[in-house]
Amino acid sequence: MNTDTYILGGWQSDFAQKAPDAQFFPLLRDATHGALHDARLEAADVEVVHVGNFAGEMFTGQGQLGGMAVSVVPALAGTPSSRHEAACASGSMAVLAAMADLESGRYDCALVVGAEVLRNVGGQEAGLRLGSAAWIGREIVGEPFPWPAMFGRIGEEYQKRYGLDHAHLGRIAEINLANARRNPLAQTRDWNLTSEAFYESDEHNPVVAGPLRKHDCSRITDGSAAVVLASGAFAERWARERGTALDRVPRILGWGHRTGTMLLEDKLASSQDAEYVFPHVRQAILDAYRRSGCHRAADLDVIETHDCFSISEYAAIDHFGITPPGKSWQAIEDATIEMGGALPVNPSGGLLGLGHPVGATGVRMVLDGARQVAGRAGDYQVPDAARVGLLNIGGSATTVAAFVVGR
C-alpha cells in the first residue's frame, strides 16, 4: 500500500483582514472553495473533513465547527467531519488526523481547514482568553499578559543555561517582518518600522516580559487556511487526469507528534540535565527526520517554524539541529536563517510577520511547505526548495508537531 500523503492544493486568507462580522462561516467557506479550486477538485471528491480550531467558544460562542464546515457546499453534507483542539497546534492535529484516515485506507481524499476568530475583542482581553492553553489556577495566575510571561520565562531559562543576547531575538523579529513584506497575505506586509523597533529601545520597543520586548511578540490574528490531502492511489489518478507528473506533487514525507507535561516549570525542571531545553520537541523533529529519510537540518532547504515569540524561533534553531544546543545565535550572526542563507527560516514571515490565527497556523505551515516545494511561493520562494521542515507548538511547547514536506 502506498501510504504517502499528497498535498493537492490549498488556500490561505489575508491575515491582515478581520473575520467578517467576527463569524467563522466566511472563513470556512472561503478556505474550502479556495482549496478545492486550487486542487482542481469538486466538493463531492472530498471523503472526510478535519477542522483545526482552538478558541471558537471563548471568542464567538461558536462550537461544532465540523458541522459548520460541511455546511459550506451542499455536496459536503453528510461527509464525516470533526474538530481538533490543541491550542496553537490545533491545525497540525487536524492534519495528522486526516493523514491517519488516508494511511489506514478509510478514505482517499481529505479536506483540512484551520480557522480562528480572535480580533473581536481587545488585545489584552484576547491574551487572557488564550491563557486557557496554560494550566488554569496553577500557572500565570493573575498575570495580565499570560503568554509573553510564559515565553519570557523560556527566554530566562536560555539565559541561565547558555546566555542570551536580546540582539539575536531582535534580529529574528527584524528578519521575519522583512520576509513578510514579500508575502501578499501577511498581516504586517505594509508595516514600516525602523531598526530601533526591534532592539533594546525602551521608546520604540518596550519590555513586555523577561527578555521579550514588544516586537518579539506575534499579533492577534483572524484567518483561515485549508489544504486538500490525498492518498497515493487518489493522487496518482489525479495527476494522470491532469497531465501532471506524480513526483512533482508535494507530499508529507515525515511527521512527529509529542506532548510534554502541561506545566512549563515541570518541563523545564525535567530537562535540567538534558542536552536540550525541550527534549520532546527535539524528539518530534527527529521523528519527522527519520520518517522522511532526512538525517539532519542540512538535508532541508527551508524551515517554517512556530515563532509566536522570537524566543520560540530561537529555541527552534537549536532543536532542529541547525546549531548545537544553546548556540542558536550562531545561525543568526552568520545569516544562515535569512533569505539567501544556507537554510532560510520563515520566508513567509512566520507568525511574527505573517500572523497567527491560532487554529489555522499548523494548516498554513503545511500549505507554505507545499508551495515552496512546488515552486509556487511567489516573492518569498526559496530557489530549488525540495524539502521543508515544519514545527508547530501548542501552549508552552506542550503539544508539538513536526513535518517534512517534499517532492
What confidence category does residue 1 fall into, taking pLDDT thresholds of 50, 70 and 90? Answer: very low
DSSP letter (8 states) at residue 218: P
The rounded Cα 395 to chain-centroid distance in angstroms is 13
Question: Taking the alpha carbons of 186, 188, 190, 194 in that order, is the dihedral positive or negative?
Answer: negative
Ramachandran angles phi, psi of 360, nearest 5°? -95, -15
Q: Is 360 exposed, middle or buried (0-12, 13-18, 19+ CB in 10 A)?
A: buried
> Residue 7 pairs with which residues in a beta bridge?
229
User: How many contiguous H segments (helices) and E segments (strands) does the chain have?
Assistant: 14, 11
Please report where in the chains the cell 539567501 appears, as a residue: 340
DSSP string of 258-295? Answer: EE--S-HHHHHHHTTTSSSS-HHHHHHHHHHHHHHT--
Q: Specify the 3-state DSSP secondary structure of 1.
A: coil
Q: For residue 4, what pLDDT is reported?
A: 87
- C-alpha span between 391 and 10 (Å, rounded): 19
What confidence category does residue 296 fall into, taking pLDDT thresholds of 50, 70 and 90? Answer: very high
- C-alpha span between 306 and 206 (Å, rounded): 23
- From 167, 181, 114, select the one nearest 349 (Cα to Cα): 181
What confidence category does residue 3 fall into, taking pLDDT thresholds of 50, 70 and 90? Answer: confident
Overall pTM surpassing 0.95 (yes/no) = yes
- pLDDT tens-digit readout, 134-182: 999 999 999 999 999 999 999 999 999 999 999 999 999 999 999 999 9
Q: Which helix (H) or strand (E) holds 83?
A: strand 81-84
CB 402 within 8 A of CB 284: yes
Lookup: cell for 101: 484516515
- pLDDT tens-digit readout, 29-66: 999 999 999 999 999 999 999 999 999 999 999 999 99
| Half-sphere exposure in the Cβ direction for 70 (13 Å, CA) | 19
